[in-house]
């Protein structure tokens, strides 16, 4: 009995050890599987050879990546240039019009406070300054590490792209070779699992695109009502920040609202807070339904997996939580996992 488990356990340990080093190839294989429907469409529609269909699909994929990178880089550079041009005058006006008035008003009330309250406030202020300093230092260290990691990332990305093309070329042959070593029952289960995971992966991308479109629409309408200039550009920025790890719409709208209150623009400040609340509530209502309809799991399972995944793993949990539910349901449908127990 023990000998029976030695080989599977050894293989599993080897896979876990090699997993971090083989991540570009795993992602390339997943990408090739996702692109396979497009390859088949070109083969059937135009009666092309597989090489030509793979080449055209791969070129279209590269064009999509290039356009996305160009759009993001162009947006970031444009924002940096705008910030460099308008930043100093904005800071000066903010200091003269808002911050000095706030400090003068605060000093007037500060003098009437009890000494214990004043000391406590000063200690809290010192701790806050230390925290901000440490956070700024951490951000600088993160930016430095990010800059040093760019060459390695570019090499891995190049390997990933080459692997995507080669996997796409060899996918049909790999399927034939794999089928030779599988029983009919195992093939059926494997095709069911890969089909479900493929459907879930595409569904997840569709769900994210739909939610981003809804966020953009709400942000654009809200900013237009508030008569904010560059509403389209700012709405795109809000969507971009919303999909980043840790950050969200609140990281843009809430500080902006606070600055508006400092500038005594209560209309804009209240409007931005309301916009943040509306976007957050609508997204939380739509997320379970959208994910469930696109990924093939129930709305309740989607809600629980999203919430528990986020609580345990943070932003990554939004991906891992539903993925675990999908894998479990797929393995259960394939008969690999059996849950017939009763209480």
pLDDT mean over 195-224 = 86
Q: What rounded mean pLDDT belongs to the chain?
A: 79
Domain boundaries, the chain: 23-181
What is the structure's pLDDT at 160? Answer: 93
- Range in 13-22, 46-55, 87-96, 283-292 the model is least confident about: 87-96
Higher pLDDT residue, 109 or 170? Answer: 170
Q: Using one digit for the tens of pLDDT, what is the confidence trace for 95-119?
A: 555 556 666 666 666 666 677 766 7
Residue 64: pLDDT band (50, 70, 90) is very high
22 has a pLDDT exceeding 80: yes
What is the structure's pLDDT at 193? Answer: 76
What is the structure's pLDDT at 92? Answer: 61
The pair of structure tokens assigned to 256 is 């902006």
Distance, in Å, from the CA atom of 31 to the CA atom of 25, rounded to the nearest integer, reads: 10
The pair of structure tokens assigned to 202 is 């595409």
CA atoms within 13 A on the CB side of 275: 30
Higher pLDDT residue, 151 or 306? Answer: 151
168 has a pLDDT exceeding 70: yes
282 has a pLDDT exceeding 80: yes
123 has a pLDDT exceeding 80: no
- Range in 9-18, 161-170, 236-245, 269-278 the model is least confident about: 9-18
> Which of 75-84, 122-131, 150-159, 284-293 has maximum average pLDDT?
150-159
For the entire predicted model, the pTM comes to 0.64
pLDDT mean over 286-294 = 81
pLDDT mean over 164-175 = 92
The rounded percent of the chain whose pLDDT value lies above 90 is 22
What is the structure's pLDDT at 62? Answer: 96
């Amino acid at each position: 009995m023990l000998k029976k488990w030695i080989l599977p356990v050894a293989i599993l340990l080897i896979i876990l050890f090699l997993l971090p080093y083989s991540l570009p190839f795993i992602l390339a294989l997943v990408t090739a599987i996702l692109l396979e429907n497009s390859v088949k469409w070109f083969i059937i529609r135009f009666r092309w050879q597989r090489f030509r269909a793979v080449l055209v699909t791969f070129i279209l994929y590269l064009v999509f990546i290039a356009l996305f990178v160009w759009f993001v880089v162009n947006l970031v550079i444009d924002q940096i240039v705008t910030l460099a041009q308008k930043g100093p005058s904005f800071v000066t006006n903010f200091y003269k019009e808002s911050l000095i008035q706030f400090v003068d008003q605060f000093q007037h009330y500060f003098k009437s406070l009890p000494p214990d309250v004043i000391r406590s406030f000063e200690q809290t202020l010192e701790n806050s300054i230390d925290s901000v300093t440490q956070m700024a230092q951490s951000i600088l260290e993160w930016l430095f590490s990010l800059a040093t990691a760019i060459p390695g990332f570019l090499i891995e990305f190049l390997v990933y792209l080459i692997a995507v093309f080669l996997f796409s070329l060899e996918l049909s042959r790999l399927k034939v070779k794999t089928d030779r070593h599988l029983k009919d029952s195992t093939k059926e289960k494997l095709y069911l699992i890969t089909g479900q995971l493929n459907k879930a992966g595409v569904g997840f991308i569709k769900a994210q695109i739909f939610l981003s479109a809804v966020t953009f629409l709400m942000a654009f309408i809200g900013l237009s009502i508030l008569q904010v200039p560059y509403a389209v550009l700012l709405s795109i920025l809000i969507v971009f920040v919303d999909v980043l790890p840790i950050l969200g719409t609140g990281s843009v709208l809430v500080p902006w609202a606070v600055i508006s209150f400092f500038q005594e623009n209560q209309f804009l400040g209240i409007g931005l807070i309301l916009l943040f609340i509306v976007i957050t509530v609508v997204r939380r209502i739509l997320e379970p339904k959208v994910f469930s309809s696109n990924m093939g799991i129930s709305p309740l399972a989607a809600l629980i997996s999203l919430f528990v995944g986020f609580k345990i793993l943070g932003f990554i949990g939004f991906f891992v939580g539903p993925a675990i539910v999908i894998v479990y349901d797929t393995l259960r449908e394939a008969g690999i996992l059996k849950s017939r127990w009763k209480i």
